[in-house]
Structure 1
Amino acid sequence: MKKTLFILSTLVLLSACDKEPQATKPQPASVQATLVPEILPTDKWVGQWIGVEGLNLTVSKDESIGRGHYLLTMQYGLDADAAGTFKGVATEDGISFTRPDGPQLLRAGDGTTTGLKWLSDKKDCLVVNTGEGYCRQ
């Protein structure tokens, strides 16, 4: 009797191990929509930003490419050739883009993080590097 019970329990265990794992089902669209935010944090940056000594930045969505892509029109230096429009892509840290002086990252900050005393009292700013920042008026 014990021997029969042992054989039956062994067969039950082996048959359970023989089954293939079930593939995970994709989540319904309503659940997937909640996982990806409808508005990216960088979408709130769209508009005009003012720097010092004539520097400025305009962030606009690049609708031709799609979500998370931007056009950055900027005067980033005092010389006339330090201006242009650059394609940017949203990242976890901000908007990455490349201009003639190399790859850059536009990130949120305040007047203090710009490193510019004329902007130090501002709260809503975008910063490329210390000494290059743009704030909302």
Structure 2
Amino acid sequence: MLKTALILSLGIVLSACAHESSSPTPAAPPTTAPDQWVGRWIGVEGLNLTLSKDAAAGPGHYLLKMQYGLDAEQSGTYKGQATADGIAFNRQDGSQLLRAGDGQATGLKWLADKHNCLIVKPGEGYCRD
């Protein structure tokens, strides 16, 4: 009787282990997407973004040269780092995240029909034709 219980217990444990190992492992987010974003992006009313790799800092690091507002002080070059959701960076108005989207996601009617865009926040986006 004890032997039967032990065998059943072992079977249950092995079954649970087999179940865990057969469950799919979530895929890691693509890390190359930001590399595809390198280049110039155009916003509205003269706003723009030029994204380049930061070779000195290594893979996954970027430089964001941007004019993000109409005032002269709303521009600069910022260091960014790739994350699972986009490129994280800091500027005078705080921590930001650059992520892919479409013109509708920018919240700007002038970009609404675009399909290849990068968005910082509603009202701030940059697109390519």
TM-score by structure 1 length? 0.72
Distance 1:133 1:38 in 2: 22
Aligned to 2:22: none
Structure 1 residue corresponding to 2:93, chosen from 94, 101, 105:
101
What is the rounded CA distance, in whole Å, between the counterparts of 1:38 and 1:75 in structure 2? 28
Spell out, residue by residue over 1:37-91, the C-alpha distance to the aligned partner (whole angstroms, 9 max, x if none): 9961110000000000000000000000100000000000000000000000000
Q: Distance in 2 between matches of 1:37 and 1:135?
A: 22
| Percent identity for Structure 1 against Structure 2 | 67
Give the superposition deviation at 1:36.
8.4
Task: Report what 1:77 is aligned to.
Answer: 69
Unaligned runs of 5+ in 1: 1-34
Q: Distance in 2 between matches of 1:37 and 1:96?
A: 15
> For the aligned residues, what is the CA RMSD?
1.8
Helix, strand or coil: the match of 1:98? strand
* Alignment equivalent of 1:46, drawn from 35, 38, 42: 38
Read off the aligned partner of 1:111 and give its amino acid letter.
G
What TM-score comes out, normalization by structure 2 length? 0.76
SS across alignment from 2:84: coil
Q: Give 4+ residue runs of structure 1 displaced > 6 Å after superposition.
A: 35-39
Amino acid at match of 2:125: G
1:135 and 2:122 matched: no
Structure 2 residue runs without a partner (length 5+): 1-26
Q: Are 2:67 and 1:87 aligned?
A: no
Which one has the largest radius of gyration? Answer: 1
Q: How many residues align?
A: 103
